[in-house]
Amino acid sequence: MDFKNLFDQFIGKRILVIGDVMIDSYLRGKVNRVSPEAPVPIVSLDLEEDRLGGAANVAVNLIAMGALPIICSVVGEILKSLLVEAGISDQGLVYSADRKTTIKTRVIGNNQQLLRIDSEQTNPISKLEEKDLIELVKVLINSGVDGVVFEDYNKGVLTPTLIQNVISLANEKGIVSTVDPKKENFLAYKNVTLFKPNLKELKEGLGLDFSFVHSKDKFEEAVVQLEKELNNNISFVTLSEHGVFIKDGQEQEYIAAHLRNIADVSGAGDTVISIATLCLIAGVPIKLIAEISNIAGGLVCEKSGVVSIDKAQLLEEVEELLAQ
């Protein structure tokens, strides 16, 4: 396959990214001594950095591949400057004076994470905010988009009513819909195109307990159960060090993980759903969707913190690893 031509097809695709937006904040420095006040390390601060996370990290990954994402969410004002800096449109955002934007602050000393502090609000958005967001999404879908990504971090933006309304509208218009789920709304995403849980989310969402290593048949039974519940077209399960699994009707494939020097797994799922969505829109066969997404997820794990994919690096690895 001509992978450069495939990647060129991603350019300009308009994709709605609906879900929980957050800021990943990093405090980096050196540790040379322990505090005399308590048995904790003292970090001599060198760098403070804010990065877009959650649904916004999906958008950043899509931009890196040449697509045109539009974030749809309910956020506090604090996020606006970061979006402008990243070149992401805020036309799908509902700004709320009553809702704070999730901020995950990681304290890193000598390249090791020492502490994480979460400042967040996880209750469901209000009925008025839900209504406003649904109306915004309707306008955007009617104006023409190529795909819809649901990025769910259980922070309250994605409600069952919003999920059902958006999926129905996407299906009416024949628009690809993909989901990166969490436990709370796991079974609310009925009739989507592609559903992408990780193994832990699959087990929690269905209330099952089994060992993937010792019981692949139970894993595959779980996927069949998932498809009966959701009526989704494609099931795509990430399996950490065991790679990924993808299934479309009767066809299914296991794709092994590539050997990597793992630095940080944060944000890898965001990258995987971004690349899978673009490949799906481009009409790529399911095995290739899984292979390319698997490579992309592995690449970002080699870098510290939440980072987006590098398009040139991904193309180089795909051409090297998937050459026929």
pLDDT digit string, tens, across residues 211-258: 887 788 999 999 999 999 999 999 999 998 888 999 998 799 999 887
Q: Which of 122, 89, 118 is nearest to 17 (CA)?
A: 89
Mean pLDDT score, 173-184: 95
* List 90, 118, 270, 310, catalytic entry: 270
SS3 30: strand
What is the pLDDT, as a whole number, of residue 267? 66
CATH superfamily name and code, 3-321 = Ribokinase (3.40.1190.20)
Confidence bin at 265 (pLDDT 50/70/90): low
Q: Which of 119, 126, 72, 124 is nearest to 100 (CA)?
A: 119
What is the pLDDT, as a whole number, of residue 275? 95
Query: Distance between terminal CA atoms of the chain?
Result: 8
Share of the chain above pLDDT 90, in %: 73
DSSP per residue, 202-218: HHHHHT----TTT-HHH
- Half-sphere exposure of 314 toward its Cβ, with a 13 Å CA cutoff? 27
Mean pLDDT score, 286-300: 91
Cβ 78 vs Cβ 25: under 8 Å: no
Per-residue DSSP letter, 174 = T
Asked if the model's pLDDT at residue 263 lies above 60, the reply is no
For residues 150 and 106, give the distance between their C-alpha atoms in angstroms, rounded to a whole number.
25
Position 41, amino acid: P
Higher pLDDT, 297 or 35: 35
Active site residue 8: no
